[in-house]
Amino acid sequence: MSLTPILVEAPASKSLSHRALICAALAKGESRLTGVLESQDTERTMACLTACGARFRRAGAGEYAVVGMAHGPEDGVGGAADLNVGESGTTCRLLAGVVAAGQGRFRIHGEGRMHQRPLGEPARALASQGVRFAFEENEGYPPVTISTTGLPGGEVDVRLEESSQYLSGILLAAPLARGPLTIAISGTKAVSWPYVSLTLQAMADFGAPAVVEALGESGFAPVEHTSVTHAEPGKLRFLVAPGSYAPRTLRVEGDWSNASYFLAAGAVGKRPVRVSGLRADSLQGDRAILDILAAMGAQVDWDAEGSAVTVSPRALTGVSVDMGACPDLVPTVAVAACFAKGPTTITNVAHLRIKESDRLEALAVEIAKTGCGTEMFADGLTITPAPLKAGQAVCFDTRADHRLVMGPALFALAGLDVGFDNPGCVAKSFPGFWGAFDPIRNGQGA
C-alpha cells in the first residue's frame, strides 16, 4: 500500500528575492513584489539599498512596495553610504558591482566571517571603469570603500573561479552605464553559471535585458541565455545598452535550494514528500537536486499540471557528481549519501571553502561524527556510508553556517538524536525552516 505524502510548500527563492529587490530599487518608480523571502540576508540587501536611496514598505508577509532610486545609487550626505552586509555574501558581491554604477562613496563591511571572504575580483574588473576600491585591512577583502562617478561603458572582463556573483553584480549595474558595456568572462573556469541566468532573467523582467553572445566558428553571435548550460572563459560575453529599469509587479518563485532538504527527506525517510510552489521549468541551478536524487535511485514524480513534485523513498546507491553549478546543494547531497549503499564523490566545489564556513572541511568533520567515512580533497569530498545507529546522539558544530544545520537535520530521519550548537542560524536564509521540517521529522516516525 502506498503511503500518503507529507505536504510542504516551498519557501520563496533567496537568489531571486535578492535580484528582484535590487532591480526594483534601481527602477524609476514604484514596484510591487510578492513572495519575497524574508530572511536576515534579504533584510541586509534592503537595508543597503535603502542607504543608497531606495525605499521599501512592507505591505504583508513577503510583500513589498519598492520606490526606486531616482538617479541610481548615491552616497550619504557628508560621507560614504554605510552598507553593512552582515553575513550575506550575496548582498556583498552583488552590491559591490551595483554601487559602482552610482555616484559617490560606498563603504561595504560585514560581520562573522564576511571579512575573510574575497572581494578583490570586482576591484580588478572595474578598475578600467575608473571605480576605486580602498580596502581597509586586508587587500582584496572587506571592509572596503568604493569610490565612483559611474560607469562610462566600454569593455570589462570578469573572472569567475571564486563566484559567479561578481559577474551578476556588474551585469545588474550595466544598464546604468553612460555608454554600451561589454562584459567578457576570463580566467580558467567559471562556477555556478545558473545563478547568472537568474540575473539575466531578473534584468529582463524589469525591462533591462542583456544580449548574450557565444563564440562559434564564425565569431560571436547572439544566443538565448536559457540555452546556455555552462560558461567557458573566452567563449561567452554580454552586451548591455544604456537604459533604465522599469517598475513592475512581480511574484518571486519558490526556492529549489531550500526545498532540497524536503525533497531529500522524501528520498531518505520512510514516507514520500510532496513539495508545491516550485517551477518545473525553473532556471535555478539547484533544480538539479531532482536529477541527483533520481540518479541515486529515488522516485521522482511531477503532478500532471506541474505544480508540485513528489519524491518517494527507494534503496539509494552512491553516485559521482560534478556540483560546480549547484554548490548550495552539497550539504543536502552529502548527507543523503550517508543513507545510500556505496560511496558518493562530489567534485568541482573548491569554492565551498569561502562560504559562511569552509563547507568542505566542515562537512568532512561533522559527517564523520555519525560513523560514516569522509575523505576531503582539493575540490571535493567522498562520503562512504556506514550504518546509522538509531538513538545515537550527535551534536553538530554549525560554525554559524545555515546550510550546516538544514543539511544534517536529515540525519534525524535515520533515528539519530540530532542536536546543533546554533540551530537558530537558519534565520540567515530560511527563518521558517524548523516549522516546516518538524512535521516531516514527526511524520516519518523517526
Give the three cell numbers for residue 364: 568532512
Is 328 tagged catalytic?
yes
Query: Which residues, at least 6 apart from 77, have a Cβ–Cβ distance to it below 8 Å?
Result: none
Choosing from 75, 286, 328, 358, the catalytic residue is 328
The Cα diameter of the chain in Å comes to: 71
* Cβ count within 10 A of residue 84: 17
Give the three cell numbers for residue 16: 531571486
Query: In 3D, which of 394, 33, 12, 11 has the Cα closest to residue 249?
Result: 33
Query: In 3D, which of 177, 243, 256 has the Cα closest to residue 209?
Result: 243
Cα separation, 62 vs 259, whole angstroms: 17
Cα separation, 153 vs 176, whole angstroms: 9
Cα separation, 122 vs 168, whole angstroms: 11
Contact 82, 51 (CB under 8 A): yes
Cα separation, 367 vs 386, whole angstroms: 11
Cα separation, 435 vs 399, whole angstroms: 22
Cα separation, 10 vs 278, whole angstroms: 7
> Cell numbers 575580483 label which residue?
121
Residues annotated as catalytic are 328
